[in-house]
Structures are given as structure tokens and as C-alpha cells.
Amino acid sequence: MRDMAEVGVREFGSGDLGGAARVLAERHGRHRRRHPLLRGDFEDVEVARVAVTEAWEAEGASGTVAVSGGEVVGYLLGAPKGPVWGPNVWVEAAGVAGRDAEVIRDLYGVAAERWVAEGKTAQYVLVPDDDSLVDAFFRLGFGSQHAHAIRGPFDGEVAVPAGMTVRRAERRDIGVLAELDLVLPKHQGASPVFSAGEVPTVEEAVADWEESVDDPEYATFVAEVNGRVIGSAIGCSLEKSSAHQGLARPDNAGFLGFAAVFPEDRGHGGGRVLGETVLKWCAASGYDSVVTDWRVANLLSSRTWPRLGFVPTFQRLHRLIGY
């Protein structure tokens, strides 16, 4: 068991980048043993140093470092994002690593004092699916909010139920695609997710689709029953997603970026079919893996996507201070 007296925690400084990079490279190596589809280059200390430097140089960044025997054994770096996340601080995928779970708790204990003093009471941490790391943050008052997941190429056939068809979206679908754009945020805003994300108007969604429906970099599919569109899904390169960066962005990966089925049409396999269709498109497009993500309190997506073979790789944890 670690001797707590041997570890000192202080504010992070630029001179700690090299040591932090070594700890991050070690963490990523352990992570890739569980998920070999993740990028391997971050196991290189110099590549890891670039990622840590980006976290350190983010606007408003601050954090802590743990040192034992003159060696960095852990660090924690966070920075604020936009106001939609509340009075926030975010620890991204390269923002935390440690050789001991208790070191993580020490690091947060010092860093959070400053964050809360600055009013950053909505706190988010993106961590690998490492049981000891997740448990360390759970014992700091965090809970799981969002999952990132990956799977290999789809090599099966899409099992379309009788009476249902799936096809590429066309301009004539813009109106219903706009309506479906509102389905997911409305669902996320309801129980038990209670997301604060904004719901666009139909007019805003129509205007967006008027510009983007023919974009060749996005594959939009619709499912129909008796000639009526009941749902849609979108596939693209993972490079199009701002939510998946650095260590959380595998090379040459496709992205299941959106899927929604009208509430009255759920329960008949439409979501599964649309998901499988995007997976098949990703395989045909030559992607080596497919990534998606979901709110863990979303009862639909948190059950549907694992059934399609997606395995969680990162968890976004969340804590709201003061309540």
C-alpha cells in the first residue's frame, strides 16, 4: 500500500510536462491492452507530451502534479469550456493519469480547491474505462454521465424487418429529417437524462438540412414503414466529431454520429436497423473501427449500442459542487 507521506502534491508547471507525458504514455499502454483499436502512437512519450502540452496550454487551464522521490507519479489538468456546461472545468482524455488511484484523489483534492474558488462548480472528467481510476473519481463524488465506445468493422448483413425499408436520404426527406433532429434532444431533455442541451426549431433544422443534405462526407439513411419515414441515422468519419479528440480518436475510424426514431415508432427494430446500416457503410468505406457515444442515463441508446457490439472505452464523469 502506498505511503502517503512519500508523495507531494503541488500546482502543475511547465517543467512537469516531461514527467506527465511518461505517466500518460504508461496509462495509454494499459488502456490499449484492453482496446487495441485505439491509437498506438500515444504510447510514445514524445507523442504523449504533445497531448499533455495541449491540455496545459488550453485557455484557463490549471491543475496539479504528484511527485515522489523527484519523479512525477501523477497529474491532473482542467480547463473551462463554453457556458452550455454551466460554471465548468473539464479534464479531457489527456488531462489525468497516475500510477496509483489514491494519487488521483490527492491531485483532485488540491486542484478542486482552486477550481471551486474560481466558481467552477460543474466539473467534468473524461477517463479510460479503468476500474481503479473510475472508482477513484466515484469516491470523490463524481458519477458517470456519458460513454464513448468502439467496435471493429461490421461483417454481417443488416436484418431488416418485414415491411421496413432502409435507403439513403434525399432532398425530399428534408422536412422529416428536420423533425427527427428534434427527437433526440427532446428525449435527452426528459427523464431520466435531463440534459440541458438546446432543442433547435424545425425551421432551423430545415435550413441546416437544405445546406447539408447533399454533403458527400456524411451518409444519411432513413428507415421507412409503409412509405413513411420513421427514423434516420448518420455516419461519417470520426474526424468530423469535435467530441472525440487525441487519445479518444482512433485512426481511420468511422462514426455513428446520430440516430433517432419517432417515439410512436419505437420497439420495432428501427434503431437497430439504422445502426447496422451505418456500421455496414463504415465497413464498405474502409474504416478500421467505428466509434459512437451516448448519455448513460439514456435508456434507449445505452441498451441498443452495446447490443450492436460497441464496447465502452472512455467515461465522462460529472460532479456538481454545492448540492
How buried is residue 106: exposed, middle or buried, by Cβ count under 10 Å (0-12/13-18/19+)?
buried
- The pLDDT tens digits of the residues spanning 254-281 come to 999 999 999 999 999 999 999 999 999 9
Q: Which CATH superfamily is domain 4-141 in?
A: Gcn5-related N-acetyltransferase (GNAT) (3.40.630.30)
* Cβ(79)–Cβ(55) below 8 Å: yes
- The pLDDT tens digits of the residues spanning 193-205 come to 999 888 999 999 9
Indicate if the pLDDT at residue 75 is higher than 50.
yes
Indicate if the pLDDT at residue 1 is higher than 60.
no
Distances (CA, A) of 73 to 23, 68, 95, 138: 7, 7, 14, 21
Domains 4-141 and 164-311 share a fold: yes
- The pLDDT tens digits of the residues spanning 133-178 come to 999 999 999 999 999 999 999 999 999 999 999 999 999 999 999 9
pLDDT score, position 196: 87
User: Which pTM value belongs to this model?
Assistant: 0.93
- The pLDDT tens digits of the residues spanning 86-143 come to 999 999 999 999 999 999 999 999 999 999 999 999 999 999 999 999 999 999 999 9
Within its chain, how far is the Cα of 152 from the centroid? 17
* Cβ(138)–Cβ(130) below 8 Å: no
Identify the CA nearest to 26 among candidates 90, 71, 89. 71
How far apart CA 267 and CA 289 sit, in angstroms, is 27
Q: Please give the full DSSP string across 29-47, using - where no structure is assigned.
A: HHHHHH-TTS-SGGGSHHH
In three-state form (DSSP H/G/I as H, E/B as E, the rest C), the secondary structure along 211-278 is HHCCCCCEEEEEEEECCEEEEEEEEEEHHHCCCCCHHHCCCCEEEEEEEEECHHHCCCCHHHHHHHHH
Pairing of strands 88-91, 122-128: parallel
**Nearest 10 degrees: CA dihedral of 247, 253, 257, 262?**
-130
Mean pLDDT of 231-250: 96
Within its chain, how far is the Cα of 261 from the centroid? 22
- The pLDDT tens digits of the residues spanning 175-192 come to 999 999 999 999 999 999
- The pLDDT tens digits of the residues spanning 210-220 come to 999 999 999 99
pLDDT score, position 100: 93
Q: What is the largest CA-CA distance in the chain?
A: 70
**In the chain, what are the domain boundaries?**
4-141, 164-311
Amino acid identity at 187: H
pLDDT score, position 245: 93
Q: Which CATH superfamily is domain 164-311 in?
A: Gcn5-related N-acetyltransferase (GNAT) (3.40.630.30)
* Cβ(193)–Cβ(295) below 8 Å: yes
pLDDT score, position 280: 98
Question: What percent of the chain lies above the pLDDT cut of 90?
Answer: 95
How far apart CA 199 and CA 176 sit, in angstroms, is 16
Mean pLDDT of 15-24: 98
Average pLDDT over the chain reads 96
